[in-house]
């Protein structure tokens, strides 16, 4: 009896792809989506140039850097500069000032944009909503120098708003100078920052709220839920993943207080509460040309930020069963 031999079936496209090397598959995907890769080229180059290349200079934190000798030619001193910072007379003051301002900013400045975004989402008056959004966004585009100038003009005890009202209500002499008050510095710094950034920070939450399904609101409304109940049980849970990611990223910069605004608002009378790590690094690293010492402090600051990022991410993963963490 004549038997027919069946030819082996041609390998499927999936099997062929599995046998290909990873580099070959990357080339195939690159040819298909070369426009997208071209768009990514500029931000990737920016990150490499301004974030990774400067890491080469971190080694001066462990050396006694001499500009004439260069980075490689400078003497290796290990943890000398770190120990000097830990033993500095103002170490505790600088760390506490940085932490207090950062934690204050998180406690006040983080929830306000979320609340504002929920209020804008709930509002049914489109014109009022648009006007409020535009007015809230505008302060973000004011430079730090101009913002501090506005604060100084308002709080000027002689010719500012405070000085004018002081004399209008019967004040004698010069009004108290709030700008020189050490106890008022943190409040001025934090609340001026909230005013400047709260509108801009609502953008991502407004975008997240726009993706909330209307069917969920309709179902909740049929069950008799009020608008407030729908905000708590529909809108807020929907944006919680976004809120969690933003909170983790915010804690990743817990020790980073921008020196520009602090330095401009700083004076000899409020120095006890306004001296933070960034201004101290600027004064010692560039002002006194102690570059190794300043680099050591900045590296210590980055290590604390990274530790806080990992810690808060682990806590969020633990509380949400790994659903809302960054990694």
Dump pLDDT digits (tens) for 93-143: 999 999 999 999 999 999 999 999 999 888 888 888 889 888 999 999 999
CA distance 304 to 312: 12
Strand intervals (E) in the chain: 63-66, 74-76
Quick one: which H or E segment has residue 30? Answer: helix 22-32
CA distance 185 to 115: 26
CA distance 233 to 225: 9
pTM: 0.82
Q: Is 287 helix (H, G, I), strand (E, B) or coil?
A: helix
pLDDT at residue number 21:
62
Q: Do 98 and 276 touch, CB atoms closer than 8 A?
A: yes
User: What stretches in the chain show pLDDT beneath 50?
Assistant: 1-3, 7, 9-10, 13-19
CA distance 275 to 186: 11
The H helix count followed by the E strand count for the chain is 19, 2
pLDDT at residue number 20:
55
CA distance 32 to 215: 38
User: Token digits for 86?
Assistant: 């830990």
From residue 294, alpha-carbon distances to 69, 173, 279, 288 in Å are 18, 44, 10, 10
From residue 302, alpha-carbon distances to 122, 175, 315 in Å are 39, 41, 20
pLDDT at residue number 254:
85
pLDDT at residue number 19:
46
Biggest CA pair distance of the chain: 123
């Amino acid at each position: 009896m004549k038997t027919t031999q069946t030819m082996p079936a041609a390998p499927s496209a999936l099997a062929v792809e599995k046998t290909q090397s990873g580099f070959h598959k990357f080339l195939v995907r690159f040819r298909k989506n070369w426009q997208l890769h071209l768009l990514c080229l500029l931000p990737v180059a920016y990150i490499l140039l301004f974030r990774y290349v400067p890491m080469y200079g971190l080694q001066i934190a462990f050396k006694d850097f001499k500009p004439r000798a260069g980075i490689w030619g400078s003497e290796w001193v290990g943890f000398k500069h770190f120990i000097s910072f830990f033993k500095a007379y103002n170490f505790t003051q600088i760390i506490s000032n940085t932490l207090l301002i950062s934690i204050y900013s998180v406690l006040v400045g983080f929830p306000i944009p979320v609340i504002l975004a929920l209020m804008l989402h709930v509002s049914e008056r489109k014109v009022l909503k648009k006007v409020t959004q535009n007015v809230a966004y505008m302060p973000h585009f004011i430079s730090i120098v101009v913002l501090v100038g506005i604060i100084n003009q308002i709080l000027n005890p002689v010719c500012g708003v405070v000085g004018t009202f002081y004399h209008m209500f019967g004040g004698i002499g010069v009004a108290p100078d709030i700008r020189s008050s050490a106890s008022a510095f943190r409040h001025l710094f934090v609340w001026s920052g909230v005013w400047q950034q709260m509108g801009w920070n609502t953008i991502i939450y407004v975008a997240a709220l726009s993706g909330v399904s209307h069917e969920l609101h309709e179902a909740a409304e049929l069950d008799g839920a009020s608008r407030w109940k729908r905000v708590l049980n529909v809108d807020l849970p929907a944006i919680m993943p976004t809120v969690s990611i933003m909170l983790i990223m915010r804690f990743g910069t817990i020790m980073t207080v921008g020196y520009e605004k602090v330095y401009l608002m700083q004076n000899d009378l409020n120095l006890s509460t306004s001296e933070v790590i960034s201004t101290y690094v600027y004064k010692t690293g560039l002002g006194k040309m102690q570059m190794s010492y300043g680099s050591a402090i900045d590296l210590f600051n980055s290590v604390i930020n990274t530790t806080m990022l990992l810690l808060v991410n682990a806590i969020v993963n633990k509380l949400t069963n790994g659903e809302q963490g960054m990694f």
